[in-house]
């Protein structure tokens, strides 16, 4: 049985590699997002790990201003089975602390977006800009991302929307995931 990965919890100060190609026109990036969705839905740690930056790992924030959990590709291999409980931060609106494993907390929200009809916006925060003065963190300034947005339903007046900002960095001219930041409607 592999060890349960314990993600590093720290304030990110990455020195990431800026894009080497015109990012929004790079067809490999939508394919990377598709592969991310497939790995999450299948809960396939090997496939998930292969998508993560080999240089910086993956910074995952369940709440924009919450804890950053950094998963190396090695840790990502076992993240679906991990029992490590992360303190993801205070839920916006209620202030209630969100605590749970990767499988319990971010995974359902990721799968919900990637299995539903969703929209993608290149280097555009979309609706997330209404809920954070700067949705894409300053420490990632100049680095590329996609907003993957699942619109809300008519049943809830559109308020049950959810989005993930997905940061992509190039390592030796290959795109990899380096950040996932979750947003949803908040009162």
What tens digit of pLDDT does each residue of 10-45 get? 544 455 555 444 999 999 999 999 999 999 999 999
Nearest to 187 by CA among 94, 96, 105, 89: 94
Residues of the chain with pLDDT > 70: what percent? 88
Domain ranges in the chain? 8-184
What is the Cα–Cα distance from 136 to 140, expressed in whole angstroms?
A: 7
Looking at domain 8-184, which CATH architecture does it have?
Roll (3.10)
139, 153 contact by CB (below 8 A): no
Residues 36-88 have pLDDT tens digits of: 999 999 999 999 999 999 999 999 999 999 999 999 999 999 999 999 999 99
């Amino acid at each position: 049985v592999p060890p349960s990965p314990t993600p590093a919890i720290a304030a990110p100060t990455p020195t990431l590699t800026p894009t080497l190609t015109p990012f929004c026109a790079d067809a490999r990036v939508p394919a990377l997002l598709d592969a991310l969705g497939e790995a999450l839905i299948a809960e396939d740690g090997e496939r998930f790990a292969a998508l993560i930056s080999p240089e910086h790992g993956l910074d995952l924030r369940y709440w924009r201003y919450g804890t950053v959990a950094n998963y190396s590709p090695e840790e990502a291999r076992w993240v679906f089975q991990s029992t490590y409980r992360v303190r993801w931060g205070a839920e916006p609106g209620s202030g209630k602390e969100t605590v749970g494993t990767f499988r319990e907390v971010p995974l359902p929200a990721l799968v919900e977006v990637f299995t539903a009809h969703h929209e993608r916006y290149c280097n555009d925060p979309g609706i997330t800009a209404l809920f954070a003065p700067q949705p894409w963190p300053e420490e990632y300034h100049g680095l590329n991302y996609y907003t993957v947005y699942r619109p809300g339903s008519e049943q809830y007046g559109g308020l049950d929307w959810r989005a993930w900002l997905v940061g992509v960095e190039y390592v030796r001219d290959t795109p990899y995931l380096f950040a996932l930041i979750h947003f949803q409607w908040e009162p």
